A and B are shown apart, each in its own frame.
Chain A
């Protein structure tokens, strides 16, 4: 007996509850997999529909890359590295892209822009006049406040300023990883 006829027979023998369950599970399966197939074909993530395009292009030695180090200047005069994950652990694995997007002013390139960002755009006269990292200062202020709230008032580890130093790994070799590019600093 072919598989089709076996399936047809088993369907005919099933009771109403069994048929209802099979239909319900078929709908659930389609509701999950059809969007996933679409995002796979389009290679596009549209939350909550995911295309598993993690590291799809791989690394390229010929492409230079910029990266940032978050640092704090303590009241005792020391400069220390500050781990972003310890400040906003909710952002788990996403702190670095949040920083990159903020430096790139991506929040100003949306179809629907936050009213305060719209106001800022008006003040600068358009996105082309906006400096890189127009909102970095707000992010640094938030991170600085979170850090200081966890330190006692008398602690020498409290920060008087927090800054984001950007470096660039130039392309072509496994060396010269830290060419300084620029820095954003926020007094707290």
Chain B
């Protein structure tokens, strides 16, 4: 019965899970291609503050890594693994190696700066994909006929549901934490403008928009805007189970994440791109085959 419900609320084909694998791994591949690892390797290891599991690595390892050679090796390994996992070749192995390498690399970045949650949900998606049959379709493995086993629809539907639930948790728990920590003070008129202006003063953020300086002019309306976003975050889990409100909730998410860039110089592109798990790829495939 439970499996039947799962199969009904999310796409349940190997194709749908394969497309999600392609997107999630592809985003990290894109990042790897367009990131200067040699510049990263130029940064002194003496400013590192290893975070979480990164603390288990010895300083001698970081010293060897923070060199041109160390970074070239890391980038090469990541490129090979992510190309394989994105294309779905040797998927059972390549999805796991990509997970480990991305996990390590993201940990390194967080050891220089702050935690930054943007890529975290995508990392959790990598975990899900590494332990589910995401290479059974939309992959080189399937083209080569390496996938012979027939699996139930549940085998493909549940991982997609799990990823949707993880994304819903991100927003829902974020709203609850805000209410727990700041309480009703979170709705104060100065919350958003003070934070947005602070993030717009330096030139160390990725963008240098000045929209934040306009916010004090409309400060009396901002508690409603902040309250609306808080309610939207609390209601985000409805997007998983109710198709009718799904696109409304996701649409607000797109507007919200796009708006934070000109207003706060803070973006969450990776998290936004993970909305891809809500697309019904089975229906897209059906539509395409009819054409």
Contacts and interface: CB of A to CB of B under 8 A. Distances in A.
Interface string A75-115: 00000011111011111111111110110001100111011
A10 interface: yes
Interface stretch (B111-119, B238-246, B276-284): B111-119
A52 B201 CA distance: 25
A88 B106 CA distance: 14
Given A32-B166, A43-B181, A139 B110 contact: no
Given A10-B2, A48-B123, A142-B43, A56 B177 contact: yes
Given A6-B1, A174-B197, A96 B182 contact: no
A138 B48 CA distance: 12
A32 B129 CA distance: 12
Interface stretch (A59-67, A124-132, A151-159, A180-188): A59-67
Contact of B182 (A17, A56, A114, A169): A56
12 contacts: A25-B162, A45-B52, A59-B197, A65-B198, A68-B204, A85-B204, A94-B116, A101-B113, A110-B50, A115-B59, A138-B44, A169-B197
Nearest first, the 10 A-B pairs at minimum CB distance are A94-B113, A47-B52, A59-B194, A59-B195, A96-B204, A58-B191, A52-B174, A97-B114, A90-B40, A61-B190
A89 B267 CA distance: 14
Contacts of A18: 3, 152, 154
A160 interface: no
Given A56-B174, A90-B109, 13 more contacts: A36-B169, A52-B174, A53-B181, A58-B185, A65-B198, A65-B201, A67-B201, A85-B205, A89-B39, A90-B39, A93-B118, A96-B202, A107-B48
Interface of B: 1-3, 34-37, 39-40, 42-55, 59, 62, 103, 106-107, 109-110, 112-118, 120, 123-124, 127-128, 131-132, 151-152, 154-155, 158-159, 162, 166, 169-171, 173-174, 176-178, 180-182, 185-186, 188, 190-198, 201-206, 208, 213, 216, 226, 266-267
B210 to A, nearest CB: 11
Interface residues of A, number: 82
B206 A112 contact: no
A167 to B, nearest CB: 7
Contacts of A106: 49
A91 B112 contact: yes
Contacts of A65: 198, 201
Contacts of B154: 18, 21-22
B128 A112 contact: no
Contacts of B180: 43
Nearest to B58: A112
A111 B51 CA distance: 12
Interface in A1-42: 3, 6-7, 9-10, 17-18, 21-22, 24-25, 28-29, 31-33, 36, 40
A81 B195 contact: no
A173 B151 CA distance: 63
B49 A177 contact: no
A59 to B, nearest CB: 3
A112 B48 CA distance: 11
A117 B46 contact: yes
B1 to A, nearest CB: 5
B236 to A, nearest CB: 11
B181 A98 contact: no
A116 interface: yes
A161 interface: no
Contact of B113 (A31, A59, A97): A97
B201 A51 contact: no
